Amino acid sequence: MTTAPVAPAPESPDPDGFLASYRGVSRSFYDSSLTDAELAGWRGERLTRVLRHVTERSPFYRRHLAGVDIAAVTPDDLSSLPFTTKDDLRREMYDVLSGPVSEASIYYETNGTTGAATPCPRGAKDIATSNAAVEESWRRLFRAHFGDRMPVVGLMGPSELYAFGDVFTAVAASLGACHVKIWPESPRVGFRKALRLIEQLGVEVVVCAPALCLSLAKAALHYGYDLARLPVKLFLVLGEICTPQFADNVATVWPNAVVRPALYGSQEALCIATGADNGSLHLSVPNYLAEILDPDSGAVLGDTGEGELTLTMLVDGIKPLIRYRTGDLVRLTAAPPGAPLPGPVVEVVGRVADRIPLGRTLLHPGELEAAILTGVRGCLGYQVVVDHASDGGDDITVRMDLVPGSADPDATGAAVADRLRALTGAAVRVVVDSALDPVTHTGSFVSWKAARVLDLRTAPDPAAEAARQVAHRYAITT
């Protein structure tokens, strides 16, 4: 179905009293007073409600879940429910929605760089429940870094059809923090104006994709700024993986700033997990049932461990998804005692499609980035180029842009090469190059692998081709 249906919008923002009850559950969850029995009751009631909602209102799920005994499905056993995949969303389009677009509060869609852009509208329930987790995360992060005062927040989002700007605008407003939308990759803003506004407005918090932390630094150096004199103290990042090694490196580039995860989520699945000041991400438990799958066989491995994250949404909004295979590889573990946020810890290690065979091993994106950036100082970007070696193995070249004087380039290169050789068994060399391929800035637009890995062993895949098309539009000195 390709045309958005139309119907009158509902008159009440909370006709069934859901938002009032949700606020109580959310408060209890975040102050750690929600008991196991209360959580189990919430999850069971919400699962049944959502399954009824989608089978009554979504043409796709009416067909997809035909024959399922909804009353018999429990949060502890979802096996009778089929998976929902990205291909389903692209094929079914508006038929996935549980209601017409006019019942939503705002319309978004995916970026469509590697397939059809799919509709992702959000209604009042979706917005309130997703933003609640972000607001609690920011409240704690800001308190840890700024005490009782609120910083000026700079938002650097990807596109107007993304929820980024609206989500963080609403959260900043709720907390009483001034925000400014500074989108340096927009031709109407550019990096030069973005840097001027950061300096003049005293922007202390920048919300952006991880790669933009480095692009912003490179542009600042290009325009003659002293990074130690700019006011930025906290980068809140999202949109692609951010390993601890990447965050540590950013802190060597920006001497007064630290990197923390803002959230992990997607246009389709909303805010899945939010960031804490120790660098961990915590699942928004009131909103989801999580399963871990073997990404190749689809076998369920449990609700903890490492594998592909699959989500069942517990809010009966405009587009709840059932057993949605995110395509993301994660490690899901219980929060340790004294964790700064409740809920299981979600460590995102990359997308299933971004795994890459190198030498004798198959690496997740996080493993490859960790091997490159461990102990590295002053790196403004990197790219991994892979080709066939003359002996039939793999030949790896790592190109790194290093801040002049920040580290010994020969020693840095030797250490990176040693780690990658030990990990892969392949031939490795490191080249210091201040003019990196512009595709390295496109991770949050397409994929980490398309931005960071140039694989000459095979023809470019659709993601790599899409990244090439995006790259020319985002020069960091515009």
Q: Between β-strands 234-237 and 203-208, what pairing exists: parallel, antiparallel or unpaired? A: parallel
- Residues 91 and 116 sit within 8 Å (Cβ to Cβ): no
More confident residue, 288 or 352: 288
| Per-residue model confidence (pLDDT) at position 474 | 55
DSSP-assigned letter for residue 460: P
The token pair that represents 410 in the structure block? 């020969």
**What is the structure's pLDDT at 283?**
97
Dihedral (Cα; 314, 318, 323, 327), 10-degree rounding: -120
What is the per-residue pLDDT for 38? 96
Chain Cα centroid distance, residue 275:
11
Q: Which residues contact 37 (CB under 8 A, 6 or more apart)?
A: none
Instruction: State the pLDDT at residue 439.
Output: 76
> What superfamily in CATH does domain 1-283 come from?
ANL, N-terminal domain (3.40.50.12780)
The predicted structure's pLDDT at residue 447: 73
Q: What residues does each domain of the chain span? A: 1-283, 355-471
How, if at all, do strands 394-402 and 379-388 pair?
antiparallel
Task: Identify the residue with better confidence: 249 or 440.
Answer: 249
Displacement of CA 295 from its chain's centroid (Å): 19
Give residue 423's pLDDT band: very low, low, confident or very high (50, 70, 90): very high
Burial class (CB in 10 A: 0-12, 13-18, 19+), 384: buried
CB of 327 closer than 8 Å to CB of 266? no
pLDDT at 60: 98
Q: What pLDDT does residue 10 have? A: 44
Whether the CB-CB separation of 290 and 283 falls below 8 Å is answered with yes
pLDDT value of residue 54: 98
**Mean pLDDT to the nearest integer, 75-90:** 96
Q: Is the per-residue pLDDT at 475 higher than 80?
A: no
Q: What is the mean pLDDT of the chain?
A: 90
Residue 435: the pLDDT is: 83
CA distances to 13, 92, 242, 353, 443 from 447, rounded to whole Å, are: 36, 23, 13, 9, 5
Q: What is the DSSP letter of 84?
A: B
pLDDT tens, position by position, 313-322? 999 999 999 9
Correct CATH for 355-471 of 1.10.3720.10, 3.30.300.30, 3.30.70.100, 3.40.50.300: 3.30.300.30
Lowest mean pLDDT: which of 67-71, 210-214, 377-381, 441-445? 441-445
pTM of the model: 0.91
Q: Which residue has the higher pLDDT, 94 or 12?
A: 94
Return the minimum-mean-pLDDT range out of 60-74, 87-101, 288-302, 381-395. 381-395
pLDDT in tens, 150-184: 999 999 976 666 788 899 999 999 999 999 999 88
pLDDT tier at 95, thresholds 50, 70, 90: very high
Mean local confidence (pLDDT), 126-132:
96
Mean pLDDT of the region 355-384: 92
